[in-house]
Amino acid sequence: MTTTRKGRENKDERLLVIACGMIAREVLAVKEQLALDHLELTCLPAEFHYYPDRIPPAMDKAISEAKAEGYSRIFVGYADCGTGGMLDAVCEKHGVERMEGAHCFAFYQGIDAFEAAGDRDMLAFYMTDFLCRQFEAFFIKPLGLDRHPELAADYFGNYEKLVYLAQTDNPELDKVAEDAAEMLGLAYEKRFTGYGDLTKALAGAAILPA
């Protein structure tokens, strides 16, 4: 678990966001953008993206520890993320809220836009800024594509296109996504989403108590 917490005299004002490591940079960007000085961040490992069964118990522990440290305002920086409702059970247990939606690909686009694109994105492979930055570490090496690139057809043969959901306008990341689409034999599409519903959710969660 990584953390960017810092002490404050008035603990009731602090908002602790316990988020997926895959959106840490984005949470901090929104914090700076909205001047949410009382927002503090701690993250569960980004690799849990591939092991959703690990998210609920880890979140349960993280929330319990945060409450023991004196945090009374906690927001869960996850959508359901493949937990099949188990994360919701943890949130309900502790009386906290999480990001709306099925996963970050949904809330980056905005839930309404994601649902509207459902049929045409049925065979889409999504990438984000994080996944572009970590393409080697999260896809190439674990799947052995650095040694056996021919396996790409086996792993990604059921997809038709790669959709890069861009949080920032970064030509280097765009190039990574384009190259990935070419390597995987997929059509390429870029959608600039910015931070999507993450901005609204954090702004709402960070409203200070009267």
* SS3 category, 117: coil
Q: Tens digits of per-residue pLDDT, 16-29?
A: 999 999 999 999 99
H/E element, 84: none
pTM to 2 decimal places: 0.89
| Two tokens, residue 198 | 């993450």
Please, what are the domains in the chain? 2-104+195-205 (3.40.50), 111-192 (no CATH)
Q: Tens digits of per-residue pLDDT, 161-194?
A: 999 999 999 999 999 999 999 988 999 999 999 9
> If phi over 0 gives left and psi between -120 and 50 gives alpha, with beta otherwise, what is residue 7?
beta
> Does 150 or 72 have the greater pLDDT score?
72
**Which residues, 6 or more positions from 180, have their beta carbon under 8 angstroms from its beta carbon?**
127, 132, 135, 139, 162
Count other C-beta atoms under 10 Å from residue 82's C-beta. Answer: 17
d(C-alpha 157, C-alpha 147), whole Å: 18
Count other C-beta atoms under 10 Å from residue 84's C-beta. Answer: 12
d(C-alpha 185, C-alpha 64), whole Å: 45
Q: Tens digits of per-residue pLDDT, 70-121?
A: 999 999 999 999 999 999 999 999 999 999 999 999 999 999 999 999 889 9
